[in-house]
Amino acid sequence: MRSLLIYLKEYRKETILAPLFKLLEVLFELTVPLVVARLIDAGILAGDSRTVLAMGGLLALFAAAGLTSAITAQYFAARAAVGFAANVRQALFHKIQTLSWSQLDTIGTGTLTTRLTSDVNQAQNGVNMVLRLILRSPFVVVGAMIMAFSVDARAAVIFVLVIPLLSLLVFLIMRRTAPLYKAAQERLDEVLLHTRENLVGARVVRAFNRQDEEREEFAAANEALTHTQRLTGAVSGLLNPSTQVVVNAGIILLILTGAWRVDTGALTKGQIVALLNYMSQILIELVKFANLIITISRALASADRIALVLNMAQDMADGTEEVPDAEAGTAPAVRFDHVSYRYEGAGAEALHDITFSAAAGETIGVIGGTGSGKSTLVRLIPRFHDVSAGRVEVFGKDVRSCRMASLRGIIGVVFQKAELFAGSIRDNLLYGAADRTAAADPARLEQVLSASQSAEFVAGKPDGVNHMLTQGARNLSGGQKQRLTIARALMRGPRILILDDAASALDFATDLKLRTAIRQMSGRMTIFIVSQRVPSVRFADRILVLDKGHIVGNGRHEELLGSCEVYREIYRSQFPEEVTG
């Protein structure tokens, strides 16, 4: 939690004023029992109505002043806590944007969502409660004991016995519940993960009739969370009754002792009422403090989980050099030099000893079976992953030495899964542009829509490019979404375009028109087309054939049919009527 306190720096005034106003409220509360004692002894028992009215007015004044102090303290505490949560959430979101794909895969989307929402909320509640009660409760307990000694030292000895026993109970319960709250948050991660997977993959679940299995997995995760929360609630639930028993025992002992001392004349009735009030104040504050400890325990567990992400070191350091101008030299647009890559925790390499180069303006097809390493290969170009061995160069520069913003600024990437955002088609297209103002030119929009074969269906929308898309563009078909993501990539005017199975939802005719249009507008743009379909790569300048992370073929379509067995097998599986020797 300490590492997160920097996000409270701009709320120093609030963090000081909130506890101070709480202490002011406490001073009024501690004075009330003495006023009540005088009201009884000098007013009611003596029959002095003026004293009764004076003390009653003083109590009303203290109540108003205490209420004002409490409201003011709550205002400052809430302001600081909400601001703290906003700063932490902003820092956490910014940190997530800097993490590599490998780190995001390791942490998981579900747990990152939990940390941005539930964990931040828990930390916010912890800060709010600390500012309100961390000084108030101990001050009331100690102050009530001191005031009790000022009333009667012998009777106040009971306070000395009760307070340490109550403190021991609070400590033991806090020690047991702290790890349970952390475990509960981890179980919540699992439930959210199952929930997200089922919402995102609902169609897949139904297509394979896996509803029963998914229900069982969710039920198991939910039961684990329920069990942990029940155990946590059972342990923390012991707090109130155990403290009530101790304090009520102390009150009984105080009444017995006080009654004897009143009978002997050593104490007045008003003083006994004051002592009982102080004992009740201690009870209330210790219960509040116990609940505060529980809240702090939950907040600390959440804060540790947040800090784990914020303190995570980036596994890919940003470079310092700019990507060279394409016209400045004759270096290949992309060059792989004995590149190997292994995913974290994987037993075998996804890519092994890959060497090839692509000239500026060249179209490279990448084909292979599932798991052959096609997507991994092209994701090394924009440095979504770092090579395990060898080097990847873009226009003669090692991608690890280039600034990521400079490198990715010249690359357009389109994935198989089309990701569009809620908003208009225009907004989604401009999202890919380096200069949104210049890219908003209607002629430019029309050009990229035409090249991506999107112009026809966009023109058919009532509002054209202003047509609003829902979250994930669920009001478009799969093919329409893929074409718009290609149009978005073209808006950047990239020097390198990567189409990672980006036309899988298109029919062969549309796919052909798409590739032809892109090549016509590309100029010296280097294009990588990743696909499992032969027609998509057939007319590429060169085709790379991957098999189990190795390049087993490199050439044109006709050459590979004669020299590469893997390519022939892929071709035969898709065109069995054209058996080629």
- Every domain of the chain and the residues it spans: 2-310
For the chain, the straight-line distance linking the first and the last C-alpha, in angstroms and rounded, comes to 69
- pLDDT at residue number 344: 79
- Identify the segments of the chain with pLDDT beneath 50: 580-581
Q: Tokens in use for 533?
A: 């379909």
Q: Which helix (H) or strand (E) holds 143?
A: helix 136-151
Q: Residue 412 in 3-state DSSP?
A: strand
Q: Which amino acid is at 35?
A: V
- Count how many residues are written for the chain: 581
Segment 96-104 long-range contacts (CB within 8 Å, at least 24 positions apart): 96/309, 98/314, 99/312, 99/314, 100/314, 100/315, 100/316, 100/384, 100/385, 100/386, 101/379, 101/384, 101/385, 102/315, 102/343, 102/344, 102/385, 103/312, 103/314, 103/315
- pLDDT at residue number 438: 56
CATH architecture of 2-310: Up-down Bundle (1.20)
Residue of 484, 496, 485 lying closest to 523 (CA atoms): 496
The two beta strands, 363-368 and 526-531, are parallel
Residue of 371, 390, 235 lying closest to 297 (CA atoms): 235
Asked whether 412 and 499 are in contact (CB, 8 A), the reply is: no
Asked whether 279 and 232 are in contact (CB, 8 A), the reply is: no
- Name every residue whose Cβ is closer than 8 Å to that of residue 41 and which is 6 or more positions away in sequence: 268, 269, 270, 271
Q: Tokens in use for 478?
A: 């799969």
Crossing angle, helix 49-98 and helix 12-38, to 10 degrees? 160
Binning the chain into helix, strand and coil, the percentages to the nearest 5 are 65, 10, 25
Asked whether 229 and 177 are in contact (CB, 8 A), the reply is: no
Residue burial 399-408, b: 16+ Cβ < 10 Å; e: rest: bbebebebbb
- Its pTM stands at 0.70
DSSP per position, 442-508: HHHHHHHHHHTT-HHHHHTSTTGGGPEE-GGGTTS-HHHHHHHHHHHHHHT--SEEEEESTTTTS-H
Q: Tokens in use for 394?
A: 């873009």
Residue of 62, 57, 80 lying closest to 26 (CA atoms): 62
Asked whether 573 and 554 are in contact (CB, 8 A), the reply is: no
- pLDDT at residue number 580: 46
Asked whether 486 and 502 are in contact (CB, 8 A), the reply is: yes
Q: Tokens in use for 546?
A: 């991957």
- pLDDT at residue number 439: 56
- pLDDT at residue number 294: 74
Residue burial 321-360, b: 16+ Cβ < 10 Å; e: rest: eebeebeeeebbbbbbbebebbbeeeeebbbbebebebbb
